[in-house]
């Protein structure tokens, strides 16, 4: 019985990893090596679109880790995503160098426009790629750690916690809208030229970014899985289901929450950092609470507490969004709301959760006849 359970969960990992690895190789090949007139050619816009979905999938995975496994419903995970995105955007801005509209040797265009004379300290070091990558993880991580340290220690839970996470992302949005914050105000950061010396618009760079997104999603999945299948993962689920009981067993609930919350924020930051070079812009609207709420819908649709489901949900819902906004531009928000209601009422476990349950009951139904058949010859 244990062997079978291990086998089936191993199979799920294997299938997920194989699919992702295949995508990481096949999609760039179809895009770059197959001639444009072939039916197998994958147009660049599709690569960019799917690359974007992959970043969303990583964000959804991060949210599922805290919501699905630890019961922390964050309505502000977009904030960590956007902060990671800004860290990457700042690096890309510094790479523009003197090629900006105003041809200033160091200052980005918007600072020249604001009549600033030197780079604010927040921008120091961002011309270095390793430093920028460090900030991609560190900034969301530290914010999450400090926020979580206070929130979990004061035992803020449930809907109250959700509301303050939403307030957090809203406050950041208002702050980033301000020109004097030094992050480009409402225009944000855009007009990127190159990344590590490679032209950011080129087909090859985009294909590489796509593959990196796949690998990041895979790494995120493996880390999240390692956490949830460890003994600490059992404690997280215990906290989700009966927080007080876990305390009386002698576990420091706030430390478990803080750990998983911070890991999740770093994952969201990495997702944001991969997102920005692929869409070519980051602006304060990424902090908008609506984005974070949309992420909740992805996870709910895919199935919370399943990891794979969260990533899948992000893909499915965003694909529907891309199609819908083309076909019925006015209808998307209604469709999204309708989808959320539908999933809550009819698929409370989401796509993957429902499928897994169906699979298990089918397997359980099969079992008794098999044992009965084995007994018959003995009679």
Partner 1 sequence: MLIDPMDMHVPTEAVQAIERPLVVTQSLLYLDGVSVSFDGFRAINNLSLVIAPGEMRAIIGPNGAGKTTMMDIITGKTKPDTGDVIFDGQIDLTQLDETAIANLGIGRKFQKPTVFESHTVEDNVEMAVKADRTVFGTLFSRHSAEIWKRVDEILGIVRLGDHRRRMAGDLSHGQKQWLEIGMLLAQDPKLLLVDEPAAGMTDVETGATADLLKDIAKTHSVVVVEHDMGFIRELGVKVTCLHEGSVLSEGTLDKVSADERVIEVYLGR
| 318, 298 Cβ separation under 8 angstroms | yes
Give the integer Cα–Cα distance in Å for 11 and 189.
42
In terms of CB distance, is 42 or 253 closer to partner 1?
Answer: 253
The one among 99, 178, 234, 360 contacting partner 1 by CB under 8 A: 234
Instruction: Name 67's Cβ contacts closer than 8 Å, sequence gap at least 6.
Output: 73, 74, 296, 299, 304
Dihedral sign for Cα atoms in the order 263, 246, 231, 57: negative
Decide: is 170 part of the binding site for partner 1 (CB under 8 A).
no
Map tokens 């679109």 to a residue: 49
Q: Smallest distance, Å, CB 166 to partner 1?
A: 26
Residues in binding contact with partner 1, number by CB under 8 A: 23
| 81, 59 Cβ separation under 8 angstroms | yes
Decide: is 39 part of the binding site for partner 1 (CB under 8 A).
no
Decide: is 117 part of the binding site for partner 1 (CB under 8 A).
no
Q: Which helix (H) or strand (E) holds 334?
A: helix 332-346
Decide: is 251 part of the binding site for partner 1 (CB under 8 A).
yes
The one among 179, 190, 255, 354 contacting partner 1 by CB under 8 A: 255
| 189, 89 Cβ separation under 8 angstroms | yes
CA 259 to chain centre: 17
Tell which phi-psi region holds residue 197, choosing left (phi > 0), alpha (psi between -120 and 50) or beta: left
Decide: is 360 part of the binding site for partner 1 (CB under 8 A).
no
Q: Is 255 exposed, middle or buried (0-12, 13-18, 19+ CB in 10 A)?
A: middle
Tokens of 12: 């799920």
Decide: is 235 part of the binding site for partner 1 (CB under 8 A).
yes
Per-residue string for binding with partner 1, 257-286, x by CB under 8 A? Answer: --x---------------------------
In terms of CB distance, is 64 or 294 closer to partner 1?
Answer: 64
What's the maximum distance between 2 C-alpha atoms anywhere in the chain? 95
The one among 32, 119, 156, 238 contacting partner 1 by CB under 8 A: 238
Q: Smallest distance, Å, CB 303 to partner 1?
A: 14
The interface region with partner 1, picked from 53-61, 77-85, 90-98, 241-249 by CB under 8 A, is: 241-249
In terms of CB distance, is 96 or 219 closer to partner 1?
Answer: 219
Decide: is 81 part of the binding site for partner 1 (CB under 8 A).
no
Tokens of 304: 């919370």
Decide: is 242 part of the binding site for partner 1 (CB under 8 A).
yes
Give the integer Cα–Cα distance in Å for 361 and 374.
21
Of residues 191, 214, 202, the one with CA closest to residue 280:
191
Decide: is 368 part of the binding site for partner 1 (CB under 8 A).
no
In terms of CB distance, is 219 or 238 closer to partner 1?
Answer: 238
Instruction: Name 119's Cβ contacts closer than 8 Å, sequence gap at least 6.
Output: 106, 107, 111
Q: Smallest distance, Å, CB 156 to partner 1?
A: 16
Tokens of 220: 């995120």
Q: Smallest distance, Å, CB 153 to partner 1?
A: 10
Decide: is 151 part of the binding site for partner 1 (CB under 8 A).
no
The one among 57, 151, 227, 310 contacting partner 1 by CB under 8 A: 227
Q: Smallest distance, Å, CB 141 to partner 1?
A: 15
Point out which residues bind partner 1 (CB under 8 A). Answer: 1, 227, 230-232, 234-235, 237-238, 241-242, 244-245, 247-253, 255-256, 259
């Amino acid at each position: 019985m244990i062997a079978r359970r291990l086998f089936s969960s191993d199979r799920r990992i294997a299938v997920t990893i194989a699919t992702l690895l295949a995508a990481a190789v096949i999609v760039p090949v179809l895009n770059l090596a197959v001639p444009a007139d072939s039916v197998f050619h994958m147009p660049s816009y599709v690569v960019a679109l799917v690359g974007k979905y992959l970043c969303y999938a990583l964000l959804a995975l991060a949210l599922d880790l805290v919501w699905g496994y630890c019961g922390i419903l964050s309505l502000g995970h977009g904030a960590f995503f956007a902060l990671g995105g800004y860290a990457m955007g700042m690096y890309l801005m510094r790479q523009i160098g003197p090629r900006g509209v105003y041809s200033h040797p160091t200052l980005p265009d918007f600072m020249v426009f604001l009549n600033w004379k030197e780079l604010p300290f927040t921008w120091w070091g961002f011309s270095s790629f390793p430093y920028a990558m460090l900030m991609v993880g560190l900034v969301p991580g530290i914010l999450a750690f400090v926020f979580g340290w206070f929130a979990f220690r004061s035992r803020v839970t449930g809907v109250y916690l959700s509301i303050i996470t939403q307030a957090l992302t809203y406050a950041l949005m208002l702050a980033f809208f301000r020109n004097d914050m030094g992050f480009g105000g409402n225009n944000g950061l855009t007009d990127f030229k190159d990344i590590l010396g490679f032209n950011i618009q080129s087909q090859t760079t985009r294909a590489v970014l796509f593959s990196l997104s796949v690998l990041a999603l895979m790494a995120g999945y493996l880390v999240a899985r390692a956490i949830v299948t460890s003994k600490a993962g059992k404690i997280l689920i215990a906290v989700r289901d009966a927080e007080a009981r876990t305390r009386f067993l002698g576990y420091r609930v706030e430390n478990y929450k803080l750990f998983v919350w911070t890991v999740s924020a770093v994952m969201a930051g990495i997702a944001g950092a991969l997102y920005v070079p692929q869409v070519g812009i980051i602006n304060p609207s990424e902090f908008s609470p609506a984005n974070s709420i949309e992420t909740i819908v992805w996870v709910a649709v895919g199935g919370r507490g399943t990891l794979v489901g969260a990533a899948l949900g992000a893909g499915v819902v965003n694909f529907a969004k891309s199609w819908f906004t083309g076909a019925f531009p006015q209808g998307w928000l209604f469709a999204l709301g309708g989808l959320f209601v539908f999933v809550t009422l009819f698929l409370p476990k989401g796509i993957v959760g429902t499928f897994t349950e169906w699979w298990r009951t089918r397997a359980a139904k099969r079992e008794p006849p098999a044992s009965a058949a084995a007994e018959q010859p003995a009679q």
